[in-house]
Amino acid sequence: MAGARSADEAARPHQRWPSAREGVPQGKALDISQAGPVCGYSTRVVGTNGYDETAGSAVAVITSGIPRKPGMSRDELLTTNAKIVKSVVKELVSRSPNVILILVTNPLDAMVHVARLVSGLPKSRVLGMAGVLDSARMRAFIAAELNVPGPDVHAMVLGGHGDTMVPLARYTTVKGKPVSEMMSKERLDAIVKRTREGGAEIVGLLKTGSAFYAPSASAVDMVEAIMKDQKRVLPCAVLCEGEYGLKDVVVGVPVKLGRGGAEQVVEYELTAEEQAGLANSAHAVRELCATVDRLMA
């Protein structure tokens, strides 16, 4: 797990960061540890190039994988990252059989599918970080538009982590007031569109990289909710087994997070249009997972 926020707001007293790059995790661990006296935390951070040091972990955040490169087909990206995730999950679970896995690797929903099959863990212990990030982007756009503090905005984005995501504008509020009462439908629709394209917008600006800080902060939000048993309801990619009318598909839905992982899927009342959007998103995820299964067979 990496990111500017992950050390100073971590819920755990001990973090272990495995990486294949010799010296890199050790150097980053030292750097973050030395920020502790200034930032007021005493988290012990250990960098390692192996997995043995991760034994007994309560939560593991998996970011391993490669970004899509110019000329690379979707199938090539799927195959490469699925193989990486499969290997990492096997190593982690063999040393921490009770671990809760949080996937960040893209294509997110398909990688959660792979991790679930490989790990053999209960569905409550295999989650994907997508909805927290997508919701954060929507909140940030609304906050900027209305000139209000970001934490005052609450939003929920469901569905797959991609163009078919379903931002629930009806459930979006600013200090408890529906956002629909504070901006026009046209402005809100524009923000919904920008939310769907949020990741691509950052990639387009950076040219040689992708989002880093917001995904890291979003992963930490999930880890804290689990480790502190907060019972917070956050949108996460999990296996649905009948919830929202969806069966045997990994998709982003509101989940109560606690020490048991994804302890409960919370079902919001959706309009026919929102339900159709979620079903369409789930269909896209199913097709992606079917492709992964075919390529990995």
pLDDT in tens, 241-287: 999 999 999 999 999 999 999 999 999 999 999 999 999 999 999 99
- 94 and 162 part of one domain: no
* Residue 8 counted as domain residue: no
> What is the pLDDT at residue 143?
98
For residue 21, name the pLDDT band (cuts at 50, 70, 90).
Answer: confident
Note whether 246 and 278 are within 8 A (CB): yes
- 254 and 275 part of one domain: yes
- 147 and 77 part of one domain: no
For residue 32 the two structure tokens come to 């973050």
- 98 and 157 part of one domain: no
- On the question of a cis peptide bond just before residue 25, with omega within 30 degrees of 0, the verdict is no
- 144 and 34 part of one domain: no
Q: What is the CATH number of the domain that holds 206?
A: 3.90.110.10
Residue carrying structure tokens 């990994």: 250
> What is the pLDDT at residue 8?
41
Mean of pLDDT over the chain: 91
The β-bridge relationship of strands 261-265 and 247-258 is antiparallel
- Return d(Cα 176, Cα 160) in angstroms, integer: 26
- Per-residue pLDDT for 6 more than 70? no
Note whether 65 and 105 are within 8 A (CB): yes
* Residue 1 counted as domain residue: no
> What is the pLDDT at residue 14?
65
> What is the pLDDT at residue 4?
36
- 163 and 258 part of one domain: yes
Instruction: Domain count for the chain, please give it.
Output: 2
% of the chain residues with pLDDT over 70: 95
- 119 and 31 part of one domain: yes
Note whether 203 and 197 are within 8 A (CB): no
Active-site positions read 161
Residue span of the structural domain in which 273 resides: 131-296
Average pLDDT over residues 93-98: 98
> What is the pLDDT at residue 9?
46
**pLDDT tens digits along 194-220:** 999 998 899 889 888 788 899 999 999
- Per-residue pLDDT for 7 more than 80? no
